[in-house]
Structure 1
C-alpha cells in the first residue's frame, strides 16, 4: 500500500513539473504567483543615461500607423518588448495592463508594447483574448542594443528629454507602486 501511495505522489509531482515546463500559461501562472508574494520587483533607482538618438526608432500598430520615438519628445515613453510564446512575458502582462490602465488617459505618458516576433495579428488576438487594453506594435527599424539586446521581456522607460531612465531585462511586477511613483516623478522632471 505504501508503494502505491509513493508511486501516485511521484506521478502527480512529475505531471505537475511537465505541465509547468510544457504549458506556457501554467508557467506564467506560477511566475505570477511568485510576483504577488514579492518576487520580481523592479529596481527603480533613477539611472538616467544618454540614450541613442530616438529619431527614426519606429513602431507600427495593427492599423498600420507608424510611431517614431523621436516625435515623442516631452513625454515619458514606456517601452516593453515581449512575445506571445514567452511565459515570463505572459506572467507580467496583468501587471503591465494594470499600470497601463492607470496612465492610459495621461497624454504625457506613452506606452508601446512591441511584439519582438513582429506577429501583430497573433499578438493582437492574444491581447483581446485576455481582455488587455494595451495596443501592440511591431518594430519597424533597427533598435540599438543599449535599448533592446534580445532578452524577453525587456522594459525601458525614457524621460521627457529622451534619456534612458530605466531598463529591466526579465520579469517584473509593474503594478508595484514604486513604478507608478517613478513614472509620475519622470513626468515632472525637466
Structure 2
C-alpha cells in the first residue's frame, strides 16, 4: 500500500522525495539539456550555473525544480533576455512599468528566471549588494553572467521559497509563482506541461547520477 501511494504521489503531484544531494555538475546539466532536446550552448556558462546553484541548493528535488524553470525560461540557456524586449522595446516598457523604474529603461524579463518589473530589479540589486545598479542598468542582468545567474537565485530563495514550503510543495506550486498566466488558458497550459516534463527529466537524470 505504501508503494502504491508513493507511485500515485509521483504521478499526480510532481513532487518527489527530498533526498539530500550536495551538488550538481556541468555534465548533469548537459545530460538534462540533451534529453530535453536542446542544443548545448556555452559549457563554461553551465559550469558557472552549477557552481552558483550549489551554494544555495542542496537537495535533489529542489535542484530539479529550479533547473526545470531556468531551462524552460531560457530555451535551454539560449536566451538571457525576453524576446519581446529585443523586438519591441516600447511594448515591453508598457508591459513592465512600475513606480520606481526609469522612463528610458525597459524592465522586461532578463536572466535565468527572466527577472521583470523595476521593483524586482531594485530588490534583487539591493540583495546582491549592488545598490541601485540593476535598476539603473537593467540590461546588465542579461549581459553579465554573474548577475544573470544570481538574480535567478535571488528570486528563487527570496520569493519562491517564501511563498511555498519548498520541501513539501508540488512542482506546479512553484510554476504558479513564476508564471501564473500559464494556468489560465490552453496555450499557457502547454507551457506548464513543458516545464513539468523538464522537471521530470531533470529529477530522473539527477537520480541516476546519485
- After TM superposition, the score normalised by the length of structure 1 is 0.30
Q: Which has the larger radius of gyration?
A: 1
The structure with the largest helix share of the pair is 2
Higher relative contact order (CA 8 A, sep 6+): 1
> Of Structure 1 and Structure 2, which has the larger fraction of its residues in strand?
1
Q: TM-score normalised to the size of structure 2?
A: 0.28
